Structure 1
Amino acid sequence: MAKTEKNYDLAKERVEKKMGFVIHSGVYVVVNAGLIALNLTRSPDKYWFIWPLCGWGIGIVFHAIKVFGPSSTTSLKEKMIEKEQAKLNH
């Protein structure tokens, strides 16, 4: 595989991961806005919307770390492959 093809595939993969995060975040906002509205109109004396908001929010944080964190550029598997290639080339 040529370097430009590899770069394209890597760029495509990163864009797909970022788009997945954007979609996940959008669904989170829409659904939780609906839950907040439902909670405040039906049972304003109890704030139960906090639980799904926080629980799902934890999932969003982990998704963001996976997509944008320090290991998002090169996976552990790719790093190991590169090390093995370097050993074989010497």
Structure 2
Amino acid sequence: MRPLSPEDLERLAHKRAGAKLGWYLHAAIYLVVNLFLTVLAFVFGYTWTIYPVLGWGLGLAFHGIAVFFLGAGAGVRERLVRRERERLQRQLEGS
């Protein structure tokens, strides 16, 4: 991997910070809305409120995985990109 220029580094830092900020905002909204649903469940005896909590929680978990583990600059993604690049290079050399 080539070294990043200061401009590229700044752009990547802004992109990653924005993605993390987006996840934090998503998590905050999840907490507020689901706190309200939990209050509804206890006050009115609603049992359906568990479904949005679980479904949205799963979506929030996937969002977190994408941002913190698979996002640009994350170790897992970089390894996968490197392997794919090497595989493509071998195919090009073989043809």
Residues 20-39 of structure 1 mapped to structure 2, 5 A cutoff: 20-39=22-41
* Number of equivalent positions: 77
* Partner of residue 59, structure 1: 59
Q: Deviations over 1:24-78 (max 9, x none)?
A: 0000000000011012111x2x422111000001100100010011x322567xx
- Choose which of 28, 40, 44 in structure 1 pairs with 2:42: 40
CA RMSD of aligned residues (A): 2.2
Instruction: Give the TM-score normalised by structure 1.
Output: 0.74
Q: Runs of 5+ in structure 1 lacking a partner?
A: none
* Partner of residue 13, structure 2: 11
Q: Runs of 5+ in structure 2 lacking a partner?
A: 90-95
SS class of match (1:48): coil
- Runs of 4+ more than 3 Å apart: none
Instruction: Give the TM-score normalised by structure 2.
Output: 0.70
Percent of pairs with identical residues: 33
